[in-house]
Every structure is written in structure tokens, then in C-alpha cells.
Amino acid sequence: MPIAVKDYSWDETETLVHVVVPLKGVKASKADIFSTDDYLKVNFPPYLFEVVLFEGVDDSKSAAQVGDGVITFTLQKKEAGLWNRLISINSDDKELMKSKRQAAIDAAHKKAQEETRRKAAEKQGRDRLALKEQMRLEEEERSRVEGVKESERQKATSDFEEWKLKELAAEKQLQMEEEETIKSSPRIMSDAADIFDTEDVEQAPVILNTRQGNNSKLTSGEGVPPPRSSASIQVTFTPRVFPTPLRESKVEAEEEWLRKQAEARRIPEIDDPDLSEEEKNPVWLKDKGDGFFKSGNYLAAVNAYNLAARLDSKMHAVYSNRATCHLKLRNFIKCIEDCSKALDLLTPPVDANAKSRLRAHVKRGTAFCELELYIQGLQDYEAGLKLDPKNEQLKADSDRIRTIIQSTVD
């Protein structure tokens, strides 16, 4: 049941009412504010502020401001005058409060619906005006384009008509000049008639007979080259695994894909009817080994990591976690081997795998020191310090190993 807020404050002027409601440590984002012309409600669990106002206010001109741990209402009175009290006289009547609350909710709901309809109508009107404006602009653009086309067509037609008139005038002028020349030059005309004498005219049938003779030879087949002999061209292509042409493929990506497929085929199959399909999944086995390690069952964890390594030899986390198990079991040689394998897989050395390389160096360095190979152990610790220079524990361990090395040398 909510706790009613009683320690609010209010003051008024002839036209305004100010109500301050404390939030009592509750975040402002959790406060639900609801108001109408004669009802105020602030719900911020577990607290509740609820009043029926003494007189009506104009909710559309009122405001609520949240800040500094309080909610401040500024209410505009519908009628000027002093109230001398904030809450309605009948506020103790529960049935009245209930009816007022329901009426306020219904009024707010109705107002929200009307506002939604009003906004929808305004949006529809704006969309209609925008559509009309778009249609008008498109019609103007269409008219402009048609006008440009028509003007260009008229210009082209007028240019063509003008050109025709000029050509006719030039042809007529040339004809007139030729007629004038013929009239003024009778000697040239007689000389032109002497060009076409009987001797030249009689040579024309001879030339025609010669052409007919050539055509007769072609028709009879004389001088025609023999038909070409048929043959086939053999085309061979370099065999390719991928169906795409070599010019469109990426050779490096294809070679990488083929290499991974070959590695996958070399993974030994585990033919054990007692194992389920998920128990043949290296990722599942790795997670299983992690669970065994957390429970302290290091031997079972090693067995799970062994099977995961058989299925996928490229998971550096399997070797790194198995090295941790060997370190717990004091199998230091195997720990060194697994750490070295994990470091080989953690290439290229980038920021993303820096933490994994740091752990591998520290575990291998610890294994070396347990075997009293302090120089090799110091090298791994210094490699770890390069990855994490601010690690005070690594600095202290490195100094301790240096002290041991110096004491053995002395």
C-alpha cells in the first residue's frame, strides 16, 4: 500500500498556485505525474501524493518542473482570487475522491484521444497540402519542359524552312546563270555536240559483251575457288576447385580455405559409441574441462582438455588451461610444453591476446622456477612485465628471482 505524502508546501497569488512536493530520495525518473483541471497526482513508489484542488485550474497553461529533489507545480487559476486552502472541502469523502479520480482519469483519457485525433487531422491536412504542392510543382516542371521542347521544335522547323528557301534560291540562281551562259556561248555548244560522235557510241556494246563473257565464266564455274575444308579447334582449361573464374577470385582466400579443409580432414575421428555428439565438440569439451578445474578435479579437467586438443589443435585456451592443471598437479615439464604451444598459437601478438600471452608467460616462468631453472623463469617473467608494466606482483616476483640467481652465482 502506498505511503501518502503529507509534508508538501504550497502558496498562491491572485492568478497562480505553487505546490512543492518532496521526492524523498526517489529518482526523478521514477516519478509519474498526472494532472487535470481539478486533480493532482504524483506516484513515486512507495510514496503517493494525491489532492483534489479547491477550485479549478487551466491545465493547458499549468506546468510541472522536476529538480533538486522536488516537483514544483505552477497552476494557472481559472478565476482570479485567493483560495486560502489547496484541498477541496470534501477531500475526506473517499467515495468523492474515488469519483474525482476516475473522472480525472476519464477526462485525461478523452483529452489524449482528442489530442491524438487533432494531431492526426493536422498531419492529414499537412500531407494533403504537401501532395498538392508536389503535384503543382510537377505540373509546372512538366509545362516548362513541354514549352522548351515546343520552342526547340519550332526553332528547328523554322531553321529547316529557311534552309530550304536558301537552297531553292541558290538552285534557281545557278539555273539562271547556266541558261545565260548557254545563250551567250553558241561555239561552246557546237563543240560539246562533237564530243558524242558515232565511234565512241559504237564501243559501248563491246564493253557490254566483255562483261557478259565474265559473267558466263562465273556461271559455268570456271575460276571459282574450291570450298574450305572443315576442322575443329580443341580448347583446354586449367582444372579449378572453385567454379568462379580465376580473374574474379581471390587466390589467397581460396588457398586459406583449402588449407583449413585439409586440416579438418586430418582431425582424427573419435569412434566411441558411448560418447554423445556434444562430447565430440571441442568447445563443449573445453567448457567441461573448465568446470572440472573450478571444482578442483584437475585430472578430469586434463582428460577433457586432451580430447578437445585432439579434435581441434588450434585452440590456444585448451593448452593454456591444461598447463594450469599440470601446474596444480606439479607436472612442470608438461606445463612448460603446453604454455609454449599456447604462445605459438597466440600469433600475431596484438592487444586482443595480450592477457592470454601474459598468463602463459607467468605459468611457464613459474614451472621453470619450480624446476630451479631460474634464468629461463626470469625471462618469462620479464616478458610478462613488458605486457603489463604496472603489475606490482610481477615486479616483486622478478626481483625475488634475480636475488636467487645472484645468490647462486656468488
CA 207 to chain centre: 83
For the segment 130-145, the average pLDDT, to the nearest whole number, is: 91
Q: What is the mean pLDDT of residues 364-385?
A: 94
- What per-residue confidence (pLDDT) applies to 256? 75
Phi and psi torsions of 47, nearest 5°: -105, 155
CATH of domain 3-92: 2.60.40.790
Among 188-197, 208-217, 344-353, 370-379, the minimum mean pLDDT is found in 188-197
Query: For the residues of 284-314, what is the DSSP string, one character each?
Result: HHHHHHHHHHHTT-HHHHHHHHHHHHHH-TT
Cell of 240: 579449378
Pairing of strands 57-67, 70-77: antiparallel
**The predicted structure's pLDDT at residue 203:** 36
Residue closest to 288 by CA, chosen among 311, 271, 265? 311
Q: Which residue has the higher pLDDT, 269 or 380?
A: 380
Q: What does the pLDDT average to over 48-76? A: 86
CATH for 314-409, among 3.40.190.90, 3.50.50.60, 1.25.40.10, 1.10.3470.10? 1.25.40.10
Share of the chain above pLDDT 70, in %: 80
Q: 39: Cβ–Cβ under 8 A, 6 or more apart, which residues?
A: 51, 52, 53, 100, 101, 103, 104
CB 38 within 8 A of CB 56: yes
Residue 12 predicted with pLDDT over 50: yes
Sheet strands side by side (includes 57-67) = 9-12, 16-22, 70-77, 57-67
Distance CA 192, CA 186 (A): 10
- Taking the alpha carbons of 278, 282, 285, 287 in that order, is the dihedral positive or negative? negative
Task: Yes or no: say if 37 and 48 are a contact pair by the CB < 8 Å rule.
Answer: no
Given phi > 0 = left and psi -120 to 50 = alpha, else beta, which region is 394? alpha
3-state SS, residue 158: helix
List CB contacts of 17: < 8 A, sequence separation 6 or more: 10, 11, 53, 57, 73, 74, 75, 77, 83, 86
The segment(s) of the chain belonging to CATH 1.25.40.10 are: 314-409
pLDDT on residue 175: 75
Encode pLDDT of 387-402 as tens digits.
999 999 999 999 999 9
- Judge whether 296 and 325 are in contact, CB under 8 Å: no
The burial of 97, by beta-carbon neighbours within 10 Å (0-12 exposed, 13-18 middle, 19 or more buried), is given as: middle
The predicted-structure confidence for 246-305, as pLDDT tens digits, reads as follows 666 667 777 776 776 666 555 555 555 566 676 778 899 999 999 999 999 999 999 999
Do the beta carbons of residue 18 and residue 73 sit within 8 Å? yes
What's the rounded Cα separation, in Å, for the pair 339 and 361? 7
Per-residue pLDDT at 306 exceeds 90: yes
Q: What is the pLDDT of residues 191-245, one digit of tens each?
A: 333 323 333 333 334 333 434 444 444 445 556 777 777 778 887 766 666 666 6
Grid look-up 573450478 returns 294
d(CA 377, CA 404): 11
Ranges of CATH 2.60.40.790 domains, the chain: 3-92
The grid coordinates listed for 128 are 494533403
- Cell 586482443 -> residue: 352
Cell, residue 351: 592487444
Residue 331's pLDDT band (cuts 50, 70, 90): very high
Fill in the amino acid letter for 235.
Answer: V
Q: Do 87 and 41 form a contact (C-beta atoms < 8 A)?
A: no
pTM: 0.38
72, HSE (Cβ side, Cα atoms, 13 Å):
10
pLDDT tier at 324 (50, 70, 90 boundaries)?
very high
**Could you report the per-residue pLDDT of 142-190, keeping only the tens digit for each?**
999 999 999 999 999 988 888 989 888 888 887 776 666 544 434 333 3
What is the rounded average pLDDT for all residues in the chain? Answer: 80
What are the CA-CA distances from residue 186 to residues 149, 196, 207, 248 (Å)? 56, 17, 33, 81
pLDDT band at 41 (very low <50, low <70, confident <90, very high): confident
